[in-house]
Every structure is written in C-alpha cells, then in structure tokens.
C-alpha cells in the first residue's frame, strides 16, 4: 500500500492556493444513480475551512471543516471513479471554485496633531 503524504497547501488553479485556515467554496461531487435511472446528488455545499491536502497513490482528497458548525469533511479531488464499496455511486471530484473573502475591519484612529 502506498504511503500517505500530507501537504499544508493545495493549488486549485494557476493563481489560487489554499493554506490552513483559508475559507473556500466548492462545486462538483459524488452522484448516486438509482435503478430507474434518476441521479441523486450526494455532494456537500457551503463554505469550508481548509485543514490539509492528502495523497495516497492515485487517491487525492482535501480535509476541511464546514465553516459555521465546524463539522469535519473529506472532499475527494482525485479522478472520477466508481465507488469500490457502494454500487451505482460515482465518485466525481470536487472542484474548488475560489476563496471566500473575509471582511476585515480596521480601527479608525485620529491622525497625529
């Protein structure tokens, strides 16, 4: 079995990089296909806080926390494959759509006299 590698940053585009503590949004994710052909979305949505990026062989995923409640989530970012455990589940990768900008308030000070 290949060794687990962990990284403190994840480059999601040519100019975008996630570091621990960065808030971000995602798209994509797994889909389940029912017997009658309908597809059910099984993906996560919302804001997440980046923890780390992991690789084990061809498997690649992000570990993050959901922003408001702090629940821990694992977001698959490897290639699209059929789930080895659940029939009819397709592991589609999540894509990071971008960082969430946080509002920073600066204290207003009087100019020196």
Residue 111 lies in a domain: no
Residue 109 lies in a domain: no
Determine the distance from the C-alpha atom of residue 93 to the mean position of all C-alpha atoms in its chain, rounded to a whole number.
Answer: 9
Which sign does the torsion angle of CA 18, 21, 23, 29 carry? positive
Q: Which single residue is written with the structure tokens 């290639």?
A: 79
Domain carrying residue 43: 23-99
Q: Which of 33, 41, 27, 28 is nearest to 82 (CA)?
A: 33
Write the pLDDT tens digit of every residue in 58-108.
899 999 999 888 899 999 999 999 998 999 999 999 999 999 987 665 656
What pLDDT, on the 0 to 100 scale, is given for residue 110?
Answer: 62
Tally of domains in the chain: 1
Residue 87 lies in a domain: yes
Q: Kindly report the length of the chain.
A: 113
């Amino acid at each position: 079995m290949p060794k687990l590698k962990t990284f403190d940053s994840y480059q999601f585009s040519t100019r975008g990089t996630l570091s621990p503590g960065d808030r971000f949004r995602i798209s994509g994710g797994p889909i389940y296909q029912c017997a009658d052909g309908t597809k059910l979305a099984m993906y996560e949505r919302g804001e997440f806080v980046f923890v780390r990026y992991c690789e084990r062989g061809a498997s690649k995923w992000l570990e993050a926390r959901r922003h408001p409640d702090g629940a821990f989530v694992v977001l698959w970012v490897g290639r699209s494959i059929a789930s080895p455990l659940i029939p009819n589940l397709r592991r589609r990768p999540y894509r990071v759509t971008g960082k969430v900008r946080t509002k920073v308030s600066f204290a207003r000070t009087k100019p020196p006299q």
